[in-house]
């Protein structure tokens, strides 16, 4: 079973990478880009077939390690059973 | 003073920190491996710089979950002085001994150079030997030194005098041009509320030898040695 | 051999073997090779591993000296630095991977060279790099610079080894083929040096480090029969560096080396498992048997071919003393690294590879190592550039105006944007960081220092490869000398075009000849090196670029010298002849936009005398600033000294026979500018005359301006702005 | 309009970050984690309302800057009109 954790910077947290990417896109001549934010996506291959249990596990992983709640929020998707 | 240096996979300023401590105290610190569940009985804990676990995922995040960090956390709460340098600062934020987080430098580049710093408070065991308002020069060498905390936390840090090191210009002014990494309020180092836990991005341990980078870091170690004698 | 397809001539060609070479393969084996065997021959006989085109010429280089503990042939060269310690160093290219993927290419280049050094028992203490990019205006250049610099820093900074020096050049000849040459210097105890040779029979062959994936497998595999139904999964991939694992590998290897457990050890670099096992067995005169089922694997379904050719990074191969496997495994486990016994030494003299119980390769080792083909490729004498007709070069309106333009040009502009992204101070021993001639790193816990520099002037090498080869060695020697250190030995990285073209082979032969002459005359032997050929795109070769990396010894770092002017009133003196030679100079290139003329000649005798004299002056404390004169000539050297010390200078050109601008910008070799403390000038002048070194009084240090008699002064600030803005501004163009 | 670009390492490309994260999760006592891969997620705020045009634009951005085609593959989602 595969779980996907999407980790984003909370709004209000300055995102240097997103900012630099936006500038670079503008420099390349792309117009109409109002904002860029960069986050992480973590794909986890899990044993087991119980989607509910998997979500709980992954939630604990996110809290314990994958995301830093001071600056980040996260979202979990479980798929492919 | 008895000191311990915590060593993680990927620590790489552990020897430099140990050398600085040995030089000032006359005896080598205990080197404590991250998987240990026990801290020796020490007066000072140093978390050195480096790229623990490659700084993969998020700087300091994986080191913060190491078994030894539970002990360090408890010691820090008990009032044992804890010094986190560079990656050590990042780890202390991740363990929540210190507030905030360290993000990618605004330039996105790794930066290695000397910076001008103002010592904003001498009311910590780390800065007690510096004159009030001292201006010092220390090297920085990091990719993620951009300190972030929300408005409320920042106000608390400033209000409680917990900003210990700040990037300033030669005249001691906090100006944007003196900020190497985009850090909020030009913050280079902060303490916990009790003042016994300090995290800073600059490397005082690289500034104790006139042959290699000045001696402005000397007073930090000497001050600790005196305070913890 | 089980499961191997019939080898076709098409497959042979895709593996880069000539018909003759293939004939040699079938003769050696007495049969057709299996696909795995073909792959093994192909990588072992590649130019990169076999040095088949360059060997004949490399043999002409001097490699011995009382200071040399180990010359070329091992993972790195070793020189004695006294007190039971030695310096271990080497330079290597990662040109092609860096062009394809600049960050990872450069990063893995740094990782590879560090492994070459710590595999011999040394703790790396410094990294350097020599970089060549295309013209700044070429659309790819900026991206390549950004990626390469970030990759070098990203790897070295993470492992925690200071990057202390290097050089960077831009030229359209590198538009389609950049050069990334990485050098690493380490320090070891002389009684704890580890070599690659395996020995004994039945001793365990051990694999440690990262798992094996399909990284960087020889491109030829793409089209080989086995992959006719290749899925995406099977495609060979770019090597990605993992500096964290490298750091663990470094610590684990050094920890194991403290015990008496290792017989031979060899990093897995190019051609991975193949070359490491072949080299260890061949050097030790034993055989080796591998069971690939035991190899730690990152991907499923890897074939023997893939495992033998994989270039996955951060791996090592060792032969252990029997019975020491358990202790060794414990150390690697502590560091979280894979550890596996994958084979044993044998007495057959053959490389025997099994996978899934099937025999996949059985090759006499001699054919892969010493018995590999060797060519004396046809070559032609290089066509030398005509001497410059000086009458065709007009003087500039103002010397200082020309200087300002030159200091802000891509060739001479400050490289601080680059080295500020490298951790230069980690380790607490960098006593002279980048920005001067050679970098100096203290030998930890001692007063000794290692001086290091990387140098070559490709435009000279193109105009006259032999003089250029001499010049590269001489400049490196000179840079080390300018710190007060005694140059001990050099490593090289010889970057050239296609050796099958006689013109290129001629460049190579001449450059190596020149290098050898200089190395002999200066007692600066070659102890390690690397050859990178086929640096061409669409038949256009790069400039011949024999990068020279040198290491010297300072017995007391307190006595070192740097380029910064120290105080107002110090006397500036030129050691060596007046500037007279503008051919191939940066003045011509930048101010006149032309690159013609013969390069300056290197008078090796004069070079030696001047350098030895400089070293004596520094040792006696008679001078407080020394800078060699290289690119841009005398006035550029003085400007660099002024900027470094933030002290101005007032100088004059007093030779009436030579126009001032030629004295100012001539690139004659074997010269230095020294700063002499007040009152000491006489003695220096007299001493120089006594040993027969030309000298000339230039003027005085002081003030905040640079002054040349008869001209409007220029402020140091103005000069600094010109010098420092070009590279950051250029790189910011990526965003602005 | 918002575009989301998911960038992943191509399969077979070494992912040191994912590997280290997997090890850390195991050290924290999470069992049954068979693999971890780390990628990037880039969210772009765009002007305009034409989803088709946006996708084309973002595809060009991905090729020019956002993804490194030598080692990464990417996927574009356009949403929220
Ligand atoms: N890629 C680089 N990495 C680190 N340092 C560099 C690099 N390129 C140049 N430098 C440093 O900048 C200084 C000037 O370089 P260069 O002009 O090549 O010196 P020189 O002419 O004395 O050989 C030297 O100290 C050199 O080590
Ligand atoms: Mg020089």
Q: With an 8 Å Cβ cutoff, is B54 touching chain D?
A: yes
Is residue C69 within 8 A of residue C530, CB to CB? The reply is no
Nearest to residue C194, comparing CAs of C270, C283, C126, C274? C283
Displacement of CA C563 from its chain's centroid (Å)? 23
**Cα of C139 to nearest chain A Cα, Å:** 12
Residue B37 has pLDDT above 90, yes or no: yes
Find which of D42, D60, D77, D78 to mutate to test the A interface (most A CBs within 10 Å of its CB). D42
pLDDT digit string, tens, across residues C576-629 = 999 999 999 999 999 999 999 999 999 999 999 999 999 999 999 999 999 999
Q: Which residues of B touch D27 (CB under 8 A)?
A: 65-66
Q: Indicate the pLDDT class of residue C2, thresholds 50, 70 and 90.
A: low
Q: Indicate the pLDDT class of residue C222, thresholds 50, 70 and 90.
A: very low
Residue A81 has pLDDT above 60, yes or no: no
Is residue A64 within 8 A of residue D28, CB to CB? The reply is yes
Cβ of residue C432 lying under 6 Å from some atom of ligand 1: no
SS3 track for C88-148: EEEEEECHHHHHHCHHHHHHHHHHHHHHHHHCCCCEEEEEEEEEEECCCCCCCHHHHHHHH
pLDDT digit string, tens, across residues C366-386 = 999 888 999 999 999 999 999
Residue of chain A whose alpha carbon sits nearest to that of D41: A39
Average pLDDT of every residue of chain B: 96
Is residue C647 within 8 A of residue C702, CB to CB? The reply is yes
Average pLDDT of every residue of chain C: 94
Average pLDDT of every residue of chain D: 92
- Distance between the two ends of chain C, CA-based, in angstroms? 60
Q: Which residues of D touch C215 (CB under 8 A)?
A: 13-14
Q: What is the pLDDT of residue C218?
A: 65
C94 part of the active site: yes
Q: What is the pLDDT of residue C371?
A: 87
Length of chain D equals 81
Contact D21 B54 (CB under 8 A): no
pLDDT digit string, tens, across residues B108-141 = 999 999 999 999 999 999 999 999 999 999 999 9
The mean pLDDT value for C38-51 works out to: 92
Q: What is the pLDDT of residue C236?
A: 58
Nearest to residue C337, comparing CAs of C238, C213, C207, C241? C207
Q: What is the pLDDT of residue C226?
A: 40
3-class DSSP assignment, residue C492: strand
Read off the DSSP letter of residue C557. G
Q: What is the pLDDT of residue C235?
A: 56
- Distance between the two ends of chain D, CA-based, in angstroms? 5
CATH number for the domain spanning A21: value is: 3.30.1280.10
ipTM > 0.90 (yes/no): yes
Distance CA C199, CA C286 (A): 6
Displacement of CA A6 from its chain's centroid (Å)? 3
Nearest to residue D45, comparing CAs of A33, A40, A10? A33
* 101-140 of B, contacting C, C-beta below 8 A: 109-113, 139
Residue C228 has pLDDT above 50, yes or no: no
Q: Determine the distance separating the centroid of ligand 2 and the alpha carbon of C206, expressed in angstroms.
A: 44
Nearest CB neighbour to B56, from listed D17, D27, D28 = D17
Distance CA B154, CA C252 (A): 42
Distance CA C167, CA C412 (A): 11
Q: Indicate the pLDDT class of residue D80, thresholds 50, 70 and 90.
A: low
Q: Determine the distance separating the centroid of ligand 2 and the alpha carbon of C437, expressed in angstroms.
A: 4
Domain count, chain D: 1
Ligand number nearest CA of C128 is 1
pTM over 0.90: yes
| Residues in CB range of C386: below 8 A, 6 or more apart | C596, C597, C598
Compute the half-sphere exposure of residue B24: CA atoms within 13 Å on the CB side of its CA.
Answer: 28
Q: What is the pLDDT of residue B224?
A: 94
Protein residue with least CA distance to atom 27, ligand 1: C165
**Residue of C167, C183, C545, C634 to mutate, ligand 1, most atoms within 8 A of C-beta:** C167
pLDDT digit string, tens, across residues D47-56 = 988 999 999 9
Q: Determine the distance separating the centroid of ligand 2 and the alpha carbon of C630, expressed in angstroms.
A: 6
Q: Indicate the pLDDT class of residue C681, thresholds 50, 70 and 90.
A: very high
Is residue C566 within 8 A of residue C666, CB to CB? The reply is no
Distance CA C265, CA A10 (A): 49
**Residue of C434, C632, C671, C723 to mutate, ligand 1, most atoms within 8 A of C-beta:** C434
Cβ of residue C183 lying under 6 Å from some atom of ligand 1: no
pLDDT digit string, tens, across residues A15-72 = 989 998 998 899 889 989 999 999 999 999 999 889 999 999 999 999 999 999 999 9
3-class DSSP assignment, residue C471: helix
B158 part of the active site: no
Residue D81 has pLDDT above 60, yes or no: no
Residue C229 has pLDDT above 70, yes or no: no
The mean pLDDT value for C630-647 works out to: 98
Residue of chain B whose alpha carbon sits nearest to that of D38: B57
Q: Which residues of A touch D61 (CB under 8 A)?
A: 25, 28, 30
Nearest to residue A56, comparing CAs of A46, A70, A41, A71? A46
B203 part of the active site: yes
**Residue of C98, C151, C419, C483 to mutate, ligand 1, most atoms within 8 A of C-beta:** C419
Q: What is the pLDDT of residue C271?
A: 84
Domain count, chain B: 1
Q: With an 8 Å Cβ cutoff, is D21 touching chain B?
A: yes
Nearest CB neighbour to D32, from listed A35, A37, A48 = A48
The mean pLDDT value for D24-37 works out to: 94
Chain D interface, Cβ < 8 Å to A: 6, 8, 18, 21, 24-25, 28, 30-48, 57, 60-61, 64-66
**Cα of C546 to nearest chain D Cα, Å:** 30
Q: Indicate the pLDDT class of residue B90, thresholds 50, 70 and 90.
A: very high
Q: What is the pLDDT of residue C238?
A: 82
Q: What is the pLDDT of residue C227?
A: 38
Distance CA C440, CA C448 (A): 10
Q: Determine the distance separating the centroid of ligand 1 and the alpha carbon of B88, expressed in angstroms.
A: 31
The mean pLDDT value for B209-228 works out to: 93
The mean pLDDT value for C661-678 works out to: 97
Share of chain C above pLDDT 70, in %: 97
Neighbours of chain A (3+ CB pairs under 8 A): B, C, D
Q: Which domain does D74 fall in, by range?
A: 2-79
b/e per residue, A7-26, with b = 16+ CB within 10 A? Answer: bbbeeebebbbbbbbbebbe
């Amino acid at each position: 079973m595969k779980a996907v954790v999407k980790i984003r910077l909370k709004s209000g947290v300055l995102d240097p990478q997103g900012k630099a990417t936006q500038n670079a896109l503008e420099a390349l001549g792309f117009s109409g880009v109002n904002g860029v934010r960069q986050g992480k996506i973590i794909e986890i291959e899990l044993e087991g077939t119980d989607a509910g249990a998997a979500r709980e596990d992954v939630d604990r992983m996110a809290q314990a390690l994958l995301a830093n709640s001071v600056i980040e929020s996260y979202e979990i998707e479980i798929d492919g059973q | 003073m008895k000191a311990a240096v915590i060593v993680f996979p990927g620590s790489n300023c552990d020897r430099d920190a140990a050398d600085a401590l040995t030089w000032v105290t006359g005896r080598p610190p205990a080197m404590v491996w991250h998987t240990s569940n026990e801290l020796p009985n020490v007066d000072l804990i140093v978390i050195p710089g480096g790229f623990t676990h490659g700084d993969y995922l998020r700087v300091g995040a994986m080191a913060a979950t190491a078994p030894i960090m539970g002990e360090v956390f408890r010691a820090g709460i008990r009032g044992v002085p804890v010094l986190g340098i560079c990656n050590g600062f990042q780890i202390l934020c991740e363990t929540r001994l210190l507030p905030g987080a360290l993000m990618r430098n605004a330039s996105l580049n790794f930066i290695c150079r000397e910076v001008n710093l103002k010592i904003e408070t001498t009311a910590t065991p780390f800065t007690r030997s510096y004159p009030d308002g001292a201006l010092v020069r220390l090297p920085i060498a990091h990719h993620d030194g951009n300190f972030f905390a929300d408005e409320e936390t920042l106000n608390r840090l400033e209000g409680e005098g917990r900003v210990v090191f700040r990037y300033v210009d030669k005249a001691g002014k906090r100006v944007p041009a003196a900020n190497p990494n985009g850090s909020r309020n030009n913050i280079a180092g902060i303490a916990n509320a009790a003042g016994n836990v300090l995290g800073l991005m600059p490397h005082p341990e690289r500034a104790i030898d006139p042959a290699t980078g000045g001696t402005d870091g000397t007073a930090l170690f000497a001050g600790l040695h005196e305070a913890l004698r | 051999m089980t499961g191997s397809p019939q080898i076709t001539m098409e497959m042979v060609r895709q593996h880069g073997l000539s018909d003759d070479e293939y004939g040699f393969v079938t003769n050696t084996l007495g049969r057709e090779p299996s696909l795995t065997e073909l792959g093994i021959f192909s990588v072992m006989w590649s130019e990169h591993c076999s040095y088949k085109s360059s060997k004949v010429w490399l043999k002409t280089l001097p490699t011995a000296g009382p200071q040399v503990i180990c010359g070329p042939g091992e993972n790195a060269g070793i020189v004695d630095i006294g007190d039971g310690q030695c310096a271990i160093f080497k330079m290597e290219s990662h040109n092609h991977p860096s062009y394809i993927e600049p960050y990872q290419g450069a990063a893995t280049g740094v990782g590879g060279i560090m492994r070459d050094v710590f595999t011999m028992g040394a703790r790396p203490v410094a990294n350097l790099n020599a970089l060549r990019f295309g013209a700044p205006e070429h659309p790819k250049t900026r991206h390549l610079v950004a990626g390469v610099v970030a990759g070098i820093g990203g790897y070295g900074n993470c492992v925690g080894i200071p990057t202390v020096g290097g050089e960077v050049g831009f030229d359209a000849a590198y538009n389609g083929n950049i050069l990334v040459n990485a050098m690493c210097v380490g320090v070891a105890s002389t009684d704890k040096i580890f070599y690659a040779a395996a020995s004994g029979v039945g001793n365990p062959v051990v694999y440690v480090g990262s798992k094996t994936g399909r990284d960087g497998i020889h491109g030829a595999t793409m089209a080989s029969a086995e992959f006719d139904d290749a899925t995406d999964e099977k495609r060979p991939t770019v090597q990605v560096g993992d500096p964290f694992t490298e750091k663990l590998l470094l610590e684990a290897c050094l920890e194991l080396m403290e015990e008496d457990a290792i017989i031979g050890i060899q990093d897995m670099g190019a051609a991975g498992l193949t070359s490491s096992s072949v080299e260890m067995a061949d050097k030790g005169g034993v055989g080796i048997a591998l069971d690939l089922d035991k190899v730690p694997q990152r991907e499923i379904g890897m074939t023997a071919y893939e495992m033998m050719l994989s270039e996955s990074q951060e791996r090592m191969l060792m032969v252990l003393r029997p019975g020491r496997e358990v202790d060794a495994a414990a150390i690697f486990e502590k560091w979280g690294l894979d550890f596996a016994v994958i084979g044993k030494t044998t007495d057959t003299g053959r490389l025997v590879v099994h996978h899934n119980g099937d025999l996949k390769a059985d090759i006499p080792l001699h054919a892969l190592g010493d018995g590999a083909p060797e060519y004396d490729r046809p070559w032609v004498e290089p066509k030398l550039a005509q001497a410059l007709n000086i009458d065709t070069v007009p003087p500039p309106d103002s010397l200082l105006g020309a200087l300002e333009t030159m200091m802000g040009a891509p060739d001479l502009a400050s490289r601080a944007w680059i080295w500020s992204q490298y951790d230069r101070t980690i380790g607490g021993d960098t006593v002279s960081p980048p920005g001067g001639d050679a970098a100096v790193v203290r030998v930890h816990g001692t007063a000794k220092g290692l001086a290091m520099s990387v140098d070559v002037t490709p435009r000279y090498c193109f105009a006259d490869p032999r003089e250029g080869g001499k010049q590269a060695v001489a400049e490196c020697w000179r840079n080390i000398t300018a710190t007060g250190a005694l140059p001990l030995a050099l490593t090289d990285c010889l970057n050239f075009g296609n050796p099958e073209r006689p013109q290129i082979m001629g460049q190579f032969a001449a450059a190596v000849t020149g290098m050898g002459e200089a190395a002999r005359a200066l007692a600066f032997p070659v102890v390690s090196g690397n050859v990178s050929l086929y640096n061409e795109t669409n038949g256009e070769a790069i400039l011949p670029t024999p990068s020279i990396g040198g290491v010297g010894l300072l017995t007391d770092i307190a006595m070192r010298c740097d380029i910064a002017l120290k105080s107002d009133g110090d006397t500036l003196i030129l050691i060596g002849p007046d500037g007279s030679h503008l051919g191939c100079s940066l003045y011509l290139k930048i101010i006149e936009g032309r690159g013609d003329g013969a390069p300056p000649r290197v008078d090796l005798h004069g070079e030696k005398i001047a350098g030895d004299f400089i070293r004596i002056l520094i040792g006696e404390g008679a001078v407080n600033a020394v800078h060699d004169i290289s690119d841009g000539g005398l006035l550029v050297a003085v400007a660099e000294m002024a900027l470094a010390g933030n002290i101005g200078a007032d100088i004059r050109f007093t030779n009436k026979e030579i126009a001032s601008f030629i004295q100012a910008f001539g690139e004659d070799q074997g010269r230095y500018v020294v700063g002499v403390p007040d009152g000491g000038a006489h003695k220096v002048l007299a001493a120089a005359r006594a040993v027969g070194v030309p000298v000339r009084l230039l003027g005085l240090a002081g003030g905040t301006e640079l002054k040349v008699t008869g001209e409007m002064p220029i402020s140091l600030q103005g000069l600094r702005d010109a010098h420092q803005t070009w590279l950051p501004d250029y790189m910011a163009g990526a965003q602005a």
